[in-house]
A and B are shown apart, each in its own frame.
Chain A
Amino acid sequence: MERERLYRTEALILHRSDFGEADRLLHVLTPHLGRLRLLAKGVRKLSSRKAGHVELFSHVNLLVARGSTFDIVSQAELLEPFRTLHDNLERASMTYYVGELIVRLTEEQDENAPLFYLTLATFDRLCTARDPLLALRYFELHALELAGYRPQLHFCVVCQRRIEPVANFFSASMGGVLCSHHKGQVEQAMPLTLHALKVLRHMQTQPWEQVAVLRLNSNLHMEIETLVQGFIVHVLERQPKSVEFIHRLRRELRENSLKEQLHKTRNTTQEGVSL
């Protein structure tokens, strides 16, 4: 079959690694060609005209030439750089995780246009959302669904009966909720509060605008995070590496704020003494 030597595509740059003398290998997600690995030649040189256009996490237009091992980026045009991601470490750490999830959940050249548009929207939400973690949870649930792992949240995965509005259970290995009668039949079923179930269902079925207005307290968010990430670990059969970085930043931030509080209270007591 005769193939065009050049093709044009939109792409999101998810991951990249140094390659050869001054080249980079880009992992990109495209709407109609799936996930690709493309070679961007010479982009580590300062004089490269392409370099600024193939930054990590940007939305770009590419002109690609077919090559023998890798296809080669011949022109690149930046559509949206998502600059907030470059200036905010927390939001950047989440985007790394989004990139890793896609690389792990998809096969190369497996077309998945909805996943592309979900990811594009997620990058934008990670820049602008009031609560970027919520956007991350929304992405996790929907990316799982688009990769074929939609968790069952409405019927018990054992007896197929509609879940009652009480405290239930969730099993990652069965891929969904369990009613209280059948939790004993599955190992490692986690308790699932009614609140968390409601939020998860809301996230699974409603558009983002309806989800963005939610305000979750930290306990509820933690429950949802643990549950969804447990499910992801089960699906991928491994812990995504970038999760550790998100956790570490959170831990350090918490330690710092504790230190500051301690500092403040110490200062105020000192002032009290001097008065």
Chain B
Amino acid sequence: MQVLVEPVARLIEELSRLPGIGPKTSARLVFYLLRAPAEQVYALADALRDLRDRTHFCSVCFNITDVDPCAICVDPERDRSIICVVEEPLDVLAIERTREYRGLYHVLHGTLSPIEGIGPDDLHIADLLPRLKADVPVREVIIATNPNMEGEATAMYLARRLAGTGVKITRLARGLPVGGDLEYADQVTLGRALVGRQAME
């Protein structure tokens, strides 16, 4: 005997495929939507459809965009001689929030993971090289991969591929997080924070 009518069961099934959502959460969301006003439900449906139909990867920096090239890549205000390399589109957002950076980006879409068989060809590494010889020559590449082993390996590999191009290669500094507590810092972080200490002005 089927207790739930087909449309309800189907949406529960579809939602429960999303990361972090199990059958219970999924059912709760579906019953919320059943009672929600029609506009809200249609808005959600439209948003989902647009997400699929109106986004693609920027052909220059591989960030997610609705126009190609993306708004950052065509912005005349931005410094075209600096490229910041990040792992994921969300990292672009994080760096933009700092308001400290006015250059361009390059999104790799992942990190090297030998154990899962993800090699350099599965990331947008080769696409970075031709960008260095654009109309405005690039003078600096900032490698902003995550400060963990996977990000570190990717950074080292990237630096090796970029060596010999004459472009300055930099890596984000590593140190103590704001609001942190020295006694909880691990040796590596604290060590690097000591090495990278700065004069007080």
Contacts and interface: CB of A to CB of B under 8 A. Distances in A.
Contacts of A100: 114-115
Nearest to B20: A20
Contacts of A52: 185-186, 188-189
B186 A242 contact: no
B166 to A, nearest CB: 14
B186 A241 contact: no
A15 B179 contact: no
B186 to A, nearest CB: 3
Given A47-B179, A53-B186, A78-B188, A86 B149 contact: yes
B148 A21 contact: no
Contacts of A248: 119-120
Interface in B150-194: 150, 152-153, 156-157, 160, 177, 179-181, 184-189
A30 B194 CA distance: 32
A96 B188 CA distance: 20
Contacts of A96: 114-115, 153
Interface in A86-129: 86-89, 92-93, 96-97, 99-100, 103
A244 B149 contact: no
B132 interface: no
A47 B181 CA distance: 10
Interface string B36-47: 000000000000
A55 B117 contact: no
Contact of A244 (B19, B119, B157, B187): B119
A252 B156 CA distance: 14
Interface string A192-228: 0000000000000000000000000000000000000
A89 B119 CA distance: 13
A245 B114 contact: yes
A89 B20 contact: no
B15 to A, nearest CB: 17
B114 A78 contact: no
Interface string A36-75: 0000000000110101110111000000000000000000
A242 B115 CA distance: 5
A31 interface: no
30 contacts: A15-B115, A20-B19, A46-B177, A47-B180, A49-B181, A49-B184, A51-B186, A52-B186, A52-B188, A55-B148, A55-B188, A56-B148, A57-B149, A78-B188, A81-B187, A85-B149, A86-B188, A87-B152, A89-B153, A89-B160, A96-B115, A97-B114, A100-B115, A241-B114, A241-B116, A242-B114, A244-B119, A248-B119, A248-B120, A249-B157
Interface of A: 15, 20-21, 46-47, 49, 51-53, 55-57, 78, 81, 83, 85-89, 92-93, 96-97, 99-100, 103, 241-242, 244-246, 248-249, 252
